[in-house]
Chains A and B, each alone.
Chain A
Amino acid sequence: MEHIVIIGNGISGVTVARHIRKLSDKKITIVSAETDYFFSRTALMYIYMGHMKFEHTQPYENWFWDKNRIGLKKGYVKTIDTKSKTLHFAEGDTLEYDKLIIATGSKPNKFGWPGQDLDGAQGLYSKQDLDTLERNAPSNKVCKRAVIVGGGLIGIELAEMLNSRSIPVTFLVREDSFWNGVLPEGESAMINRHIKNHHIDLRLGVNLKEIKADDTGKVKSIIVAETGEEIDCTVVGLTAGVSPNITFLKDSGIETNRGVLVNRHLETNIKDIFAIGDCAEQREAIGQRRPIEAVWYTGRMMGEALAQTICDNPTEYKPGHWFNSAKFLDIEYQTYGWVFSKPRENETHFHWIHEDDTKCITVCYDTKDKTFLGINTFGIRMRHEVFDRWLTEKRDVDYVMNHLNEANFDPEFYKHFEREILATYNNKLQTA
C-alpha cells in the first residue's frame, strides 16, 4: 500500500490528508512537531483572550484520526533523504514514504534587529509562541507594557490580545498608515483611528532600532530608530510578516527560493515530493496572485487540489477569484476580487465611509469598460457566492452598485446602507 507522508498538521496538510482518505485507501501519516492534533492557527488569539480553551480550536475530535485511518506522528523532521525516500527525525528515528507532501507553513520574520532573540522578544505563529506569551505576559502586573513591531494582521491580533488583559501596548508600524501596502488609504486611515480608540499607542512611520536587555537577559526596553526614543517594556512582539518554514530542506536537493518551488501540479523538482500551503512558492504566477500566499484559504485549496493528483487524477492548482477576510479589533473585513492599495493603470476606486467611522467599502473597477474588479468591505458582511458570481459574469460596476443589497450578509434586522452607498456613488459620478 502506498504510504503518503505529510509534514505539517496545519490546514493544508490536514485538508490533503482528508481528501486522500475520501478518494483512496492509501496509508497516510501526518507528521508534526508542534501539537498532537490539528488545531486552527487563526484561533490562537482567542485562547489567550479567554474566549476558548485550546481544545476548542481543534476542529476534529481526537477519535477522528483513528476512525479515518490517518496516522499521526509527533516528531521534528531534521533531514530528508530523497534517494531512499526516508525522513530523519531530530529524535533519531526514521520514516519511509512513497510520496511526500511538505506543508510546514511559516515562521515569523526577524530582520536582524539587535536583541531580537532575547527572553521576552517573540513572534506569534505557533502553539509554542502562544505558551511563551502566556508566560511573558500573563497580566499587566507582570507585563507593564508590550511593544509590537510590524503593522500587519498578526500585529493587530497581538495588540487585541494584550489589550484584552489590560496590558498597555505600543504598536510600531513602519508604514505611515496601518497595512496601507494592502488597504486603500481611506480604509487604512479608518483602522488607524479604530486602533487608537482602543487606547493602543499606535506609532506610524517608525522602525525598531534595537531591543535592550536588563541584567538577567530579559527585554527591558526598545529604541525607536527614527526618534531614538526608549520605550520601557517587558515583551516585544515581532510581527513583521512571516516566511516559509523550510530551513530543514537546505541540503535535501529540493529546489527552493523563498519557499519550496512548485509547478501548477504542486510538484517540486523531485518526483513524488509535493509542497502546499504557506511554504509553497509558485514557479509561474497564477493571475495576479503572489507566488507565496500565506493565507488559510489558499492552503486549504491547495490541499483539495493536490489530493486529486495524488489519487491518480492529475489536477492543476487553479484557485478561483481571490477572496480573503480578517478582523481588526471590532471591525470585520472581507475582500472579493482585486482591490489594490492604489488603483493601478486603468483602474478607479469608489470609496464610501459611514459617519460612525466603523464601516466602509471600496469598489475597484475598470476605468474604461467599467467592469467590476473587486470590493473591500469593512463592518458590513457580504456574500461570497454573489461576488464570486458577479466576478465570473464580469458585471459592470453600475450593476454591482445597484444590486449591492443582494450581496448583503449582515444578520437580520441590521441597518442597511445600500441606498446611502448608491447615492454617494451616483453623486460622485456626476461631480467626476
Chain B
Amino acid sequence: MSNKLNHSMSLAKPDALGISRKQKIALAIGIVGLFILALALFNTNFPNKALFLSLSLGLITAGTVIYSREAYLTKLEGIKNDGAWFKSISSRGAWGWIVGVVLTTFYIVLYFYPTLLGLGKDGAANTGLISLFDPLSNLLSGRPASQWFVYGTLYTVAIFAFGYKFILKYRHNRYEQIRTVSVMFFQLAFAFLIPEFMYRMNSNLPYYDLKSVWPLNYYIFDEWSVKGFLSNGNIGLALIIFGIVSIFVITPILTYKYGKRWYCSWVCGCGGLAETAGDSFRHLSSKKMSAWKLERWLIHVVLVFSVVMTVAMVYTYLGYDSNDFWLTKGVFIGLVIGFLTLVFAVIMYFKRSELGKDAKYGAIGFFATIALLMGMHFTGTTEEVFFIKGSALRSAYGLYIGSIFSGVIGTGFYPILGSRAWCRFGCPMAAILGFQQRMFSKFRITTNGGQCISCGNCSNSCEMGIDVRAYAQKGENIVRSSCVGCGICSAVCPRGVLKLENDSMEGRINPTEVLLGNDVDLMKLVNKQ
C-alpha cells in the first residue's frame, strides 16, 4: 500500500524526483568506465592495458564522486533519504531488479565459470576482463591476475567510491565518517594490499586476509592451508597462531568492550561493502517477526554446519598416534567437546534467567552439535566422517555457504533483500559475535526515556531488519545479537532517542511498560515485574 500515486513504469525515467544535469554527466562518466570493463569482458584487446584499466577504474570512481558531491554538497547537512522509496533502484523497481540480476550473474560467473571472465587455464595467459587487470597484479605481487584479484580490486574500488558517497551523505555525523574510513582502510590494507605483498615476500604462504576470522574465513584450517602455513617456518606458525588467537582471545575481548560492531561495521569486508555500496538498499530488509524467526534458525544452522565442517576437516588430517603428534583425532574431538560444554555450562549458569524460552533452543543446538561430533568420531577415518568424505562436507560448505549464500545471494540480492542478507541470515562469524553481544557485552543502543514518537525511521533504516522502534517506543534499550552497530537508526531518529554506547552490563536490558515522564508511582507500579 504505497502512498505514492504517480507510479512510473518507465525505464527511461522511472523516478518522480529527477537528477540534475551534472549528475547525469557523472552517471555517463561512470558508465563509460563500466563500458571499458564490458569491452574487455568481450575480449577487446586493449593496446595499453595499464592505461585502460586506470581509465576504467578512474572513470567509475570519478563518476561516483561527482554524482555524490552534487547530491549532498548542494544541500545543508542532515538526513538525506528523500525519495529512497520512490527511486526505482532503491525500492525494488525495474532498475533494482536489473541491478540485482546483473550482480547475481556476475557472482555466478565469478565463482563457477571464471574462464568466461578470461582466466587462463593451466598456466595459459589470461584473456578478456582478467587480463585487463594483469598489469596491476604484476605491479603488486608480480604474478598475473586471477578472478579473485579482479574481484578484490573492484570490491576495493566500490568500498572507496561509495564510502566517499556515504561520508558526504553523513557529513554531520562523525561516528559514521570515522567508521567508514575504518572499513576503507581495512579493505585496502588487510584484504587487498597486505596479502599481495605477503605473496611477494613468500610465495608459498596461503592467501591470508588477517582481519578475516574463522568461521567467516572457513578455509583457514583446511589441510592445504595449515600445511602451507606450517611449511613456512616461524612466520607461517605465527600466522596460524594469530588465526586461533583472533577467534578465541581477541574477538571475545573486543566484543565484550564494544559489541560486535568493532568487527561487523568497522573492520569486516562484507560489512564494509554493505555499508558503502549497499547503503542505498539498507531499508529493504524485512522487519517482520517471521523474518526474525527465519533468521534465528538459519544463522545458527549455518554456525553448527561450519563448526562441524571445520572439525571434520581437521579431524581427517590428524593422526591416531600421540607419538607422532600430541594432537590426535581423539584429543582433538575431546578438546572441541570440552570447549563447547564449558561455554554451554557458563551460559546456563549465569544467563539462564535471561534466556527464557530460548534456553531450550540453545540446549537443542548444543546437544545436536555434540551428537554430530560424537557421531563423526565413531564413523570417522582418515578419509571419511559419517561415512562420507570429509572433503565432500568441506566442498559442500564452500559451495552452498561460502559461494552461493555469501556471494550470490548475499551481495547479488542487495537491491531485493537489502544490504546485509548474508550478515543477517548466514554469517557464522556474526552468529558467534552476536551470541556474545547478547550475553556478555557492554554494548547497547540506549533509548532516551519517553521521547520516542514511534515514527519508524529507525526500523526502516535498519539493514539487519531489527524492529528498533518496538524497543524504543517501550523505552527499552536495544540489546540484540544481530545489531552490527552501524548507527544509522540513531542518525535518522528525528527526536534524538537512540544512542549507541558501551556502558556497564547492569541494567542494560530494561523492559518498561510505563515510560519515563509519566506519574512516578504509576511507573513503579507497572514496571516492577
Q: Chain A interface (Cβ within 8 Å of chain B)? A: 11, 19, 22, 40, 42-43, 46-59, 61, 130-131, 134-135, 138-139, 164-166, 197-198, 296-297, 300-301, 304-305, 308, 315-321, 323, 325-327, 329-330, 332, 334, 381-385, 388, 409-415
Residues in B whose Cβ lies below 8 Å from that of A300: 450, 515
The reply to whether A334 and B518 form a contact with Cβ atoms under 8 Å apart is no
Q: Which one, A53, A296, A415, contacts B1 given CB within 8 A?
A: A53
Closest Cβ of chain A to B110, distance in Å, is: 34
Q: Across the two chains, which residue of chain A brings its CB closest to B491? A: A411
**Neighbouring B residues of A58 by C-beta, 8 Å:** 456
Central interface residue in B81, B470, B514, by most chain A CB within 10 Å: B514
Residue in contact with A56 in the complex, picked from B82, B460, B500, CB distance below 8 Å: B460
**B178 pairs with A138, CB closer than 8 A:** no
Shortest distance in angstroms between B515's beta carbon and chain A's nearest beta carbon? 7
**Contact yes or no, B76 A197, CB < 8 A:** yes
Shortest CB-to-CB span from B467 to chain A, Å, is: 9
* Of B3-11, B154-162, B190-198, B242-250, the one touching chain A: B3-11
Additional pairs, 5, CB under 8 Å, beyond known A165-B17, A319-B518: A304-B518, A325-B496, A384-B451, A410-B499, A414-B173
Q: Would you list which residues of chain B between 473 and 529 have a CB under 8 Å from chain A?
A: 473, 487, 490-492, 494-496, 499-501, 513-522, 525-526
Number of residues of chain B lying within 8 A (CB) of chain A: 65
Query: Is B289's CB under 8 angstroms from A61's CB?
Result: yes
Q: How far is the CB of A237 from chain B (nearest CB, A)?
A: 17
**Of B457, B521, B526, which one neighbours A46 at CB under 8 angstroms?**
B457
**CB distance B496 to A334 under 8 Å?**
yes
B12 CB to nearest chain A CB (Å): 17
- Binary A-proximity of B436-453 (CB < 8 A = 1, otherwise 0): 000000000010111101
Rounded to whole Å, the gap between the CB of B175 and the closest CB of chain A is: 5
Chain A interface: which of B83-91, B231-239, B354-362, B389-397? B83-91
List residues of chain A with CB within 8 A of the CB of B16: 138-139, 165
> Is B174 interfacial (CB-CB < 8 Å)?
yes
B448, B459, B495, B526: the one contacting A383 at CB < 8 Å is B448
From A138, A297, A317, A332, B5 is in contact (CB under 8 Å) with: A138
In this complex, what residue of A is CB-closest to B521? A318
The total of Cβ contacts below 8 Å across the A-B interface reads: 191
Which residue of chain B has the shortest Cβ distance to A317 in the bound complex?
A: B519
Q: For the complex, what is the distance from the CA of A53 to the CA of B87, rounded to whole Å?
A: 12
A19/B77 in contact, CB under 8 A:
no
Contact B82 A381 (CB under 8 A): no
In the assembled complex, how far is the CB of residue B457 from the closest CB belonging to chain A, in whole angstroms? 6
A selection of 25 A-B contacts at a CB cut-off of 8 Å is A11-B454, A40-B456, A42-B453, A46-B455, A50-B84, A51-B457, A51-B460, A53-B3, A59-B469, A61-B288, A131-B3, A138-B6, A166-B17, A305-B519, A315-B522, A318-B518, A318-B519, A320-B517, A323-B517, A325-B451, A334-B451, A383-B448, A411-B500, A413-B174, A414-B173
**Any chain A CB within 8 A of the CB of B79?**
yes
Q: Is there an interface contact between A164 and B85, defined as CB atoms closer than 8 Å?
A: no
Whole-angstrom distance between the alpha carbons of A11 and B178 in the complex?
38
A301 to chain B, nearest CB (A): 4
Assess A49 versus B1: contact at CB under 8 Å? Given A40-B455, A197-B76: no
B375 touches A (CB below 8 Å): no
| Residues of A contacting B525 in the complex (Cβ-Cβ under 8 angstroms) | 308
Q: Which residues of A contact B449 (CB under 8 A)?
A: 323, 383-385, 388
Q: Considering the complex, give the chain B residue whose CB is closest to the CB of A385.
A: B449
CB-CB < 8 A to B86: which residues of A? Answer: 50
B2 at the interface (CB under 8 A from A): yes
Assess whether B520 is in contact with A320, with CB atoms less than 8 Å apart: yes
Instruction: Output the nearest chain A residue to B289 by Cβ-Cβ distance.
Output: A61
With the chains together, A29 CA to B287 CA distance in Å? 27
Q: A-B pairs with the 9 shortest C-beta distances?
A: A384-B449, A330-B78, A381-B496, A43-B455, A318-B519, A50-B83, A413-B174, A327-B494, A40-B454
Tell me if A56 and B456 are in contact (CB < 8 A): yes
Contact of B85 with A319 in the complex, beta carbons under 8 Å: no
Question: Judging by beta carbons under 8 Å apart, are B173 and A411 in contact?
Answer: yes
Cα(A375)–Cα(B94), bound, Å: 49
> Within 8 Å CB of B4, what residues of A?
50, 134
Chain B residues within 8 Å of A47, by CB: 3
Q: A43-B456, A46-B455, A384-B516 are in contact. Are A327 and B289 (CB under 8 A)?
A: no
Alpha-carbon gap, A22 to B78, bound state (A): 40
Q: How far is the CB of A192 from chain B (nearest CB, A)?
A: 15
How distant is the Cα of A56 from the Cα of B499 in the complex, in angstroms?
Answer: 21
Q: B455, B460, B496: which contacts A42 (Cβ < 8 A)?
A: B455
Tell me which residues across on chain A come within 8 A of B289, comparing CB atoms.
61
Q: How far is the CB of A45 from chain B (nearest CB, A)?
A: 9
CB < 8 Å neighbour of A388 from B6, B501, B516: B516
Tell me the B153-211 residues at the A interface (CB within 8 Å): 172-175, 178
A57-B455 CB under 8 A given contacts A330-B76, A415-B174 = yes
- How long is the Cα–Cα vector from A48 to B81 in the complex, in angstroms? 11
- Are A413 and B518 in contact (CB-based, < 8 A)? no
- Min CB distance, A344 to chain B, in Å? 23
